[in-house]
């Protein structure tokens, strides 16, 4: 059953602040609470608040100064909360109205003692003698992003860079660092990590309160939230894979791959195969590798396609993120601890336990040391 207090079809997917104000004037319901806009707010409140509403809940009433925003990003909601507090006075309490408020956003508002309502049916209403909490309704007003997803694909390399170094003096320094940590970073890597891409990713991280600017520098402020968003945005390579048998021992596999030279064939152990390198799981069999060309790697390593005692798996992965922050050790090339964490966190219970062991040093900013 649709529990939204607002007919989204009237406003389309991107309601404006005027649309939202009109919905307030017509009255909204967040059972057991009902809201109605007061026609003539006192001048002291009207000058600063977008609207003054009266909320009725179980025969009790309260008044709220409402700050309306057409965007739901954490930074906008945080700013709206401060503005609503400034507009409230006496018994009039602060309230934020946005197209969508996630459970995290509602919790942050409640901690700030600010009420919040959205157009999807979620709310936290903090009256002097009543409290209403409703969460879990899906986002009916999705916002477009400046890029498809800053936490997925090659653009996520910019976000991952903050987990290796938490602060950058300039946007250019951030991009240079990201490129420097990509295997064979010239050509495709430089083309996908443009200055424009870096700028758009950072802008989103700022809106999500994951990064902040301080004295011109860009600094990571919420590493755990960044990890969580990277986990949700991560997609395994969709290219072909080959599980088979090679006559070469692991040392010879790595040696032959190294001898292929920097002519274009990129290779690295998968994150799951690298878990043993970081001491969170025992090594897995067969050896699993990301390669930029499956056919070239299969020929080079003489891999026969067989399910009988296989000892190697090749996964074609052409995106740069799979070769970001790789770690050459002992002749092998291991996946980044960030890539390893992402793969383990989305696997089975045993792997997730390994991810938890690896998560703390990443959150603490020690990923570069691993």
| Position 9 confidence tier, pLDDT thresholds 50, 70, 90 | very low
Bridge partners, residue 67, by sequence: 96
Chain-centroid distance, C-alpha 205: 8
Q: Per residue in 192-217, pLDDT tens?
A: 789 999 999 999 999 999 999 988 89
pLDDT at 368: 94
**CB atoms inside a 10 Å sphere around CB 169:** 11
Task: Please state the pTM of the whole predicted model.
Answer: 0.80
Question: In sequence order, which residues have a C-beta less than 8 Å from that of residue 182 and are 6 or more positions away?
Answer: 157, 189, 193, 320, 323, 324
Residues 74/93, Cβ–Cβ less than 8 Å: no
Cα–Cα distance for residue pair 219/351, rounded to 1 Å: 31
What is residue 13's predicted lDDT score, i.e. its pLDDT? 60
235-263 pLDDT, tens per residue? 999 989 999 999 999 999 999 998 876 66
Of the chain, the percentage scoring pLDDT greater than 90 comes to 75
Whether the CB-CB separation of 237 and 290 falls below 8 Å is answered with yes
Which is more confident, 88 or 159? 159
What pLDDT was estimated at residue 14? 74
pLDDT at residue 127 tops 90: yes
In the predicted model, what is the mean pLDDT of residues 106-135? 96
How is residue 92 annotated by DSSP?
P
Alpha-carbon distance values, 251 to 91, 287, 306, 328, 331 (Å): 74, 11, 21, 13, 7
Tens of pLDDT along 100-115?
999 999 999 999 999 9
SS3 44: helix
pLDDT of residue 111: 96
Spatial separation of the C-alpha atoms in residues 74 and 207, rounded to whole Å: 6
**Among candidate residues 191, 213, 188, the one with its CA nearest the CA of residue 202:** 213
CA dist 303 and 274 (Å) reads 21
Listed as own residue / partner, the contacts of 109-115 with beta carbons closer than 8 Å and 24 or more positions apart are: 109/77, 109/81, 112/81, 112/85, 114/81, 114/84, 114/85, 115/64
What is the rounded distance in angstroms from the CA atom of residue 35 to the CA atom of residue 155? 42
Token reading at 353:
């336990």
Residue pair 174/213 in contact by the 8 Å Cβ criterion: no
Mean pLDDT of 69-91: 92
Dihedral Cα 301, 302, 307, 311, nearest 10 deg: -40
10 Cβ partners below 8 Å, 6+ apart? 19
DSSP state of 210: S
Looking at per-residue pLDDT, the higher value among 205 and 4 belongs to 205
Of 67, 41, 44, give the one whose Cα is nearest residue 54: 41
Mean predicted confidence (pLDDT) in 309-328: 95
Question: What are the Cα distances from residue 264, in Å, to 172, 183, 286, 327?
Answer: 26, 10, 25, 18
pLDDT at position 362 is 97
Coil vs helix vs strand at 66? strand
pLDDT of residue 2: 45
């Amino acid at each position: 059953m649709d529990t939204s207090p607002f007919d989204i079809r009237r406003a389309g997917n991107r309601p404006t602040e005027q649309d939202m104000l009109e919905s307030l004037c017509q009255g909204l319901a967040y059972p057991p609470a009902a809201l109605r806009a007061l026609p003539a707010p006192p001048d002291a409140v009207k000058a600063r608040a977008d609207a003054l509403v009266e909320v009725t809940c179980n025969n009790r009433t309260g008044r709220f100064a409402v700050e309306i925003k057409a965007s739901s990003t954490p930074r906008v909601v945080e700013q709206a909360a401060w503005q609503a507090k400034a507009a409230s006075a006496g018994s009039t309490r602060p309230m934020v109205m946005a197209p969508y408020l996630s459970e995290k956003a509602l919790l942050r508002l409640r901690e700030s003692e600010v009420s919040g309502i959205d157009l999807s049916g979620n709310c936290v209403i903090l009256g002097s003698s009543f409290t209403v909490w409703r969460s879990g309704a899906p986002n009916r007003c999705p916002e477009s992003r400046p890029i498809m997803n800053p936490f997925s694909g090659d653009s996520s390399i910019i976000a991952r860079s903050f987990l290796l170094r938490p602060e950058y003096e300039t946007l250019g320094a951030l991009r240079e660092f990201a490129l420097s940590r990509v295997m064979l970073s010239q050509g495709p890597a430089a083309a996908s990590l443009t200055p424009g891409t870096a700028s758009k990713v950072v802008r989103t991280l700022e809106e999500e309160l994951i990064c902040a600017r301080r004295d011109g520098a860009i600094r990571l402020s919420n590493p755990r939230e960044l990890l969580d968003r990277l986990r949700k945005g991560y997609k395994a390579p969709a290219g072909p894979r080959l599980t088979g048998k090679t006559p070469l021992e692991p040392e010879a596999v790595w040696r032959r791959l190294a001898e292929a030279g920097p002519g274009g064939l990129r290779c690295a152990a998968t994150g799951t195969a690298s878990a043993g390198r970081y001491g969170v799981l025992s090594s897995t069999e067969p050896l699993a590798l990301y390669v930029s060309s499956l056919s070239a790697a299969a020929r080079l390593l003489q891999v026969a396609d067989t399910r009988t005692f296989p000892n190697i798996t090749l996964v074609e992965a052409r995106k740069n993120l799979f070769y970001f922050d790789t770690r050459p050790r002992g002749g092998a090339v291991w996946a980044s601890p960030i890539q390893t964490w992402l793969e383990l966190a989305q696997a089975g219970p045993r792997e997730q336990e390994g991810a938890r062991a690896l998560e703390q040093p990443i959150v603490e900013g020690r990923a570069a040391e691993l």
